[in-house]
């Protein structure tokens, strides 16, 4: 039975194709923002999508004017129409709906958005794309009453070409549903708030008729004196000469695209100034085709492992990290802007970090761009979190789409050094098969970065103080990571004194989480739960205990800032917030912040 199940599963895996990829480096393209004030209609019974017999309007030849996406107006006073976009409430885009109206705070369901816009192309044969940074969770996009398509996944970009669909005045209507689904990625149960909405930028991208859609320009992982990568054109004039130029490095060379519009290259170069956290050097890279020019700021470095060591540009490095959710505590909502990225990553730099674990899903591009500028190495993750439906091929397809999309988006990011496949997923054969396939997909898309995942830990009855990390998943990844909560979910902090770990892999070990809750400003003795003193004591003891792990090469304690979670309802202390932040929801630094900061400063001064 098991063999048959595996064969079926693998056949289903092979059949899943990855979603069409989006244009990368959107911030350096010719764009027109559609951010700002949109109209909004709440629709818990999905009355704008189905008729009263639950027949979907968007699958009808003639959906009729009751469908919200037709953006119909009453033709005369006798017509019955039970919505009117022009008189509907307004909402800001980007931004989750939860923080924008009190009645939206806990809403999970369907919300409709509408934006009217006019657009004049700059050049006749140019093309126009509608690009969403992310929409959580399930979206259907309509332009002038016509369905452009759908997207599943709340944290990755998607786009539609609208070149031949633009009118003088356009009506863009977006259906958004953030209902949590058992077969989803993530599934129904998470420890973060399910912020729904158009949560990131919406832009129109104008490109030449044949344009540079995609490119990969990095150092050869096995030869730092060699550039390697490819350029991918999109358009009818596929065979073009391409010039790649890094002026400051005296690099300029040409290559030729093939009939599919693709050009692969390797180019010997003299030594570049490597990107490092201490010196986050970014080079201006100009990519010219005969019809397009794209400029990007790219850092060059190598990252690999050698036994227990993580080698950045050939030198062993210790990852002084912190975990971060994509949330601005002051807004009490999803982070989405450059200013939000500066706030969160500024705190991480203040803490003494050279690394951030962006939990538990791909963050917005400003976080990646800012990490490259500030010199913070990055762990990026797809929300394959907890009890995923491992046997469902649609669930795998969803996870593989999200992973391939974030790899495609950030593959030129020097700061991004780790793709994480999962977090705390219960061990089973279907789970191992699922993650093995996901690891192969990641390596096929990008063989220049490391793979990891927070894997499972267990103890044997005869030795409850020896924590064993023996997980099949460790064989698929480069860095063995795990979360440990000794002293919070498992005994009291004093338990750490006698704890030890058994991790039988000749690979780097990374503690992806440890921590404790504390209400900022609540002071008591170090055994009083949720006091700052308890959290500080746990940090002191954890830092000491974890250094007994021989292959330890980094950590990202949980978590930089308190964040909203419906799982945390202790009145007066949590009030719907997870309080494990080193910083409170009003920006207050707790005692433990300074404990970790002192440790990181001492680590930074060590010579590896
Ligand atoms: C888990 C999980 C986090 C969660 C944390 C906690 O390890 O990975 O997402 O928030 O523990 O319980 O606070």
Distance 191 CA to ligand 1 centre (A): 6
CB atoms within 10 A of CB 464: 13
Average pLDDT over residues 213-232: 95
Ligand 1 centroid – CA 477 distance (Å)? 21
Task: Report pLDDT for 16.
Answer: 40
Q: Does 19 score more than 50 pLDDT?
A: no
Report the number of distinct structural domains present in the chain: 2
Q: Has residue 608 got a pLDDT over 90?
A: no
Handedness of CA 329, 330, 333, 338 (dihedral sign): negative
Same domain, 154 and 71: yes
Q: Is the residue at 202 inside a domain?
A: yes
580 lines ligand 1 (CB under 6 A): yes
Q: Look at residues 149, 176, 207 and tell me which one is the last residue of a structural domain.
A: 207
Would you report the helix, strand and coil content of the chain in percent, each value rounded to 5?
20, 35, 45
User: Residue 388 domain-assigned?
Assistant: no
4 pLDDT exceeds 90? Answer: no
Task: Give 393 Cα–ligand 1 centroid separation in angstroms.
Answer: 27
pLDDT at 17 (0 to 100): 35
Closest ligand 1 atom to residue 483 Cα is 7
**Tell me, what's the pLDDT at 10?**
56
Q: Which atom of ligand 1 is the closest one to the Cα of 513?
A: 7
280 falls within a domain: yes
Tens-digit pLDDT profile for residues 119-148 = 999 988 999 999 999 999 999 999 999 999
Q: How far is the CA of 99 from the centre of ligand 1 (A)?
A: 23
Whether residues 129 and 197 fall in one domain: yes
**Host domain of residue 149:** 34-207
Strand partners for 251: 246
Q: Which is the closest atom of ligand 1 to the Cα of 565? A: 10
The token duo for 583 is 């910083």
Last residue of a domain, which of 207, 240, 264?
Answer: 207
Distance 360 CA to ligand 1 centre (A): 10
Residues 38-95 have pLDDT tens digits of: 999 999 999 999 999 999 999 999 999 999 999 999 999 999 999 999 999 999 999 9
- State if residue 385 touches ligand 1 by the CB under 6 angstroms criterion: no
In a domain, 190, yes or no: yes
Query: Which residue has a Cα nearest atom 10 of ligand 1?
Result: 191
Does 159 reside within a domain? Answer: yes
The pLDDT of residue 237 is 85
| Contact predicate 362/136, CB 8 Å | no
pLDDT score of 287 more than 90: yes
Assess whether 218 and 201 both reside in one domain. Answer: no
Last residue of a domain, one of 157, 191, 207: 207
Position 519 pLDDT exceeds 50: yes
CA-wise closest residue to 198 among 146, 246, 138: 138
* Helix, strand or coil, per DSSP, at residue 9: helix
Q: Are 291 and 237 in contact (CB under 8 A)?
A: yes
Element holding 42 (H helix, E strand): strand 36-42
Q: Please return the burial class of 474, using the count of CB atoms within 10 Å of its CB with bins 0-12, 13-18 and 19+.
A: buried
Do 176 and 259 fall into the same domain? no
386-422 residue pLDDT tens: 999 999 999 999 999 999 999 999 999 999 999 999 9
Same domain assignment for residues 176 and 250: no
423 lines ligand 1 (CB under 6 A): yes
- State the closest ligand 1 atom to the C-alpha of 454, by its place in the atom list counted from 1: 8
Partners of 455 in beta bridges? 482
Q: Which of 538, 558, 578, 579 to mutate to test the pocket of ligand 1 (most atoms within 8 A of CB)?
A: 558
Asked if residue 393 lies in contact with residue 279, where contact means CB atoms within 8 angstroms, the answer is no
Whose alpha carbon is nearest atom 12 of ligand 1?
191
Element (H, E) at 421: strand 416-423
578 lines ligand 1 (CB under 6 A): yes
Q: What's the pLDDT score for residue 7?
A: 59
296 in a structural domain: yes
From 186, 187, 191, 555, mutation site for ligand 1 pocket: most ligand atoms within 8 A of C-beta: 191
CA dist 212 and 255 (Å) reads 14
The rounded Å distance from CA 483 to ligand 1 centre is 8
Please determine, for residue 174, whether its predicted confidence score (pLDDT) is greater than 90. yes
User: Ligand 1 in contact with 191 (CB < 6 A)?
Assistant: yes
Mean pLDDT for the stretch of residues 277-297: 97
Interval 420-431: pLDDT, tens = 999 999 999 999
Q: For residue 1, what pLDDT band results from cuts at 50, 70 and 90?
A: low
Nearest CA to ligand 1 atom 3: 191
Domain shared by 189 and 256, yes or no: no
pLDDT recorded at residue 394: 98
Cα 96 to its chain centre, rounded Å, is 16
Helix (H) or strand (E) holding 142: strand 138-143
Nearest in space to 287 (alpha carbons), one of 252, 236, 250: 252
The CA 512 to ligand 1 mean position distance, Å, reads: 10
Q: Is 419 a pocket residue for ligand 1 (Cβ < 6 Å)? A: no
CB of 483 shorter than 6 A to ligand 1: yes
- Tell me how far apart the alpha carbons of residues 22 and 409 are, in angstroms, rounded to a whole number: 8
Residues 71 and 217 in one domain: no
Per-residue pLDDT of 311-359, as tens digits, reads 999 999 999 999 999 999 999 999 999 999 999 999 999 999 999 999 9
In contact, 262 and 219? CB cutoff 8 Å: no
User: Are 161 and 275 in a shared domain?
Assistant: no
Closest ligand 1 atom, residue 424 Cα: 8
Looking at residue 271, its pLDDT comes to 87
| CA dist., res. 133 & res. 200, Å (int) | 5
Structure-token pair, residue 44: 């818990």
120 and 200 in a single domain? The answer is: yes
- In this structure, are strands 211-220 and 223-234 parallel, antiparallel, or unpaired? antiparallel
The Cα 592–Cα 282 span in angstroms is: 33
Nearest ligand 1 atom to alpha carbon 515: 13
Nearest CA owner, ligand 1 atom 9: 191
Does the residue 116 lie in any domain? yes
Mean pLDDT on 208-234: 95
Instruction: Name the closest-CA residue to atom 2, ligand 1.
Output: 191
Rounded-to-integer distance, Cα 478 and Cα 128, Å: 40
Q: At residue 269, does pLDDT exceed 70?
A: yes
CB 575 within 8 A of CB 509: no
For 526-575, write each residue's pLDDT tens digit.
Answer: 999 999 999 999 999 999 999 999 999 999 999 999 999 999 999 999 99
What's the token pair of residue 191?
Answer: 């420890």
Query: How far away, in angstroms, is 514 Cα from ligand 1 center?
Result: 9
Burial 492-523 (b: 16+ CB within 10 A, else e): bbeebeebebebebebbbbbbbbbbbbbbebe
Residue for token pair 């956290």: 277
Distance 198 CA to ligand 1 centre (A): 25
Q: Is 380 in the pocket of ligand 1 (CB under 6 A)?
A: no
How far, in Å, CA of 148 to CA of 432, rounded? Answer: 36
478 within ligand 1 shell (Cβ under 6 A): no
Residue 14: pLDDT band by 50, 70, 90 thresholds? very low
Q: Is residue 98 domain-shared with residue 225, that is, in the same domain?
A: no
155: CATH: 2.60.120.260
598 assigned to some structural domain: no
Q: CA torsion sign, 403 to 409 to 411 to 413? A: negative
Query: Residue 584: which of 559, 567, 557, 601 has the closest Cα?
Result: 559
Token representation of residue 605: 């001064």
Are 202 and 225 members of one domain? Answer: no
CA of 580 to the centre of ligand 1 (A): 9
- Does residue 513 line the site of ligand 1, with CB under 6 A? yes
Nearest to 416 by CA among 455, 358, 360, 359: 358
Mean pLDDT of 503-528: 98
Q: Are residues 216 and 289 in the same domain?
A: yes
Strand partners, 172: 115, 143
């Amino acid at each position: 039975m098991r063999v048959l199940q595996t064969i079926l599963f693998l056949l289903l895996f092979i059949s899943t194709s990855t979603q069409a990829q989006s244009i990368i480096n959107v911030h350096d393209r010719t764009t027109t923002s559609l951010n700002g004030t949109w109209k909004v209609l709440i629709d818990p019974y999905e009355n704008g999508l189905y008729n009263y017999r639950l027949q979907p309007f968007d699958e009808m030849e003639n959906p009729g004017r009751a469908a919200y996406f037709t953006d119909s107006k009453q033709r005369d006073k006798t017509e019955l129409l039970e919505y009117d976009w022009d008189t509907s409430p307004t909402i800001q885009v980007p931004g989750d709906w939860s923080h924008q109206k009190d009645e939206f705070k806990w809403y999970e369901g369907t919300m409709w958005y509408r934006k009217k816009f006019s657009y004049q192309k700059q050049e006749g044969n140019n093309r126009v794309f509608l690009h969403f940074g992310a929409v959580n969770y399930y979206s259907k996009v309509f332009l002038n009453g016509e369905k452009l398509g759908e997207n599943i996944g709340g944290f990755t970009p998607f786009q539609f070409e609208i070149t031949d669909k633009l009118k003088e005045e356009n009506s863009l209507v977006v259906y958004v549903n953030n209902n949590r689904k058992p077969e989803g990625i993530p599934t129904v149960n998470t420890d973060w708030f399910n912020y729904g909405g158009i949560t990131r930028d919406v832009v129109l991208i104008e490109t030449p008729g044949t344009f540079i859609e995609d490119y990969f320009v990095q150092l050869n992982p096995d030869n730092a004196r060699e550039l390697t990568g490819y350029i991918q054109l999109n358009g009818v004039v596929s065979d073009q000469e391409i010039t790649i130029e890094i002026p400051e490095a005296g690099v300029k060379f040409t290559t030729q695209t093939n009939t599919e519009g693709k050009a692969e290259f390797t180019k010997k170069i003299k030594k570049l100034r490597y990107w490092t956290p201490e010196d986050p050097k970014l080079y201006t890279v100009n990519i010219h085709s005969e019809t397009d020019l794209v400029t990007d700021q790219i850092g060059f470095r190598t990252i690999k492992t050698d036994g227990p060591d993580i080698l950045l540009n050939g030198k062993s490095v210790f990852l002084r990290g912190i975990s971060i959710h994509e949330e601005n505590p002051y807004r009490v909502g999803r982070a989405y802007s450059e200013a939000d990225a500066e706030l969160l990553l500024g705190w991480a730099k203040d803490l003494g970090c050279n690394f951030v674990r962006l939990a538990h899903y791909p963050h917005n591009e400003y976080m990646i761009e800012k990490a490259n500028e500030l010199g913070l190495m990055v762990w990026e993750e797809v929300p394959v979190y907890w009890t995923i439906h491992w046997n469902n091929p649609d669930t795998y397809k969803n996870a593989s789409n999200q992973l391939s999309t974030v790899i495609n988006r950030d593959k030129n990011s020097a700061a991004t050094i780790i793709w994480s496949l999962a977090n705390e997923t219960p061990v089973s054969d279907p789970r191992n098969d699922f993650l093995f396939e996901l690891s192969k997909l990641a390596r096929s898309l990008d063989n220049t970065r490391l793979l990891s995942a927070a894997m499972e830990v267990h103890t044997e009855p005869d030795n409850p103080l020896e924590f064993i990390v023996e997980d099949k998943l460790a064989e698929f990844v480069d860095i063995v990571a795990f979360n440990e909560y000794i002293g919070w979910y498992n005994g009291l902090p004093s338990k750490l004194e006698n704890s030890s770990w058994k991790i039988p892999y000749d690979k780097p070990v990374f503690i992806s989480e440890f921590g404790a809750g504390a209400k900022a400003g609540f002071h008591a003795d170090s055994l009083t739960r949720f006091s700052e003193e308890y959290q500080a004591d746990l940090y002191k003891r954890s830092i000491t205990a974890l250094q007994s792990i021989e292959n330890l090469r980094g950590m990202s304690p949980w978590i930089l800032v308190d964040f909203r979670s419906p799982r945390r309802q202790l009145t007066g202390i949590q009030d719907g917030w997870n309080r494990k932040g080193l910083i409170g929801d009003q920006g207050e630094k707790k005692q433990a912040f300074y404990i970790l900061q002192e440790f990181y400063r001492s680590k930074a001064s060590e010579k590896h």
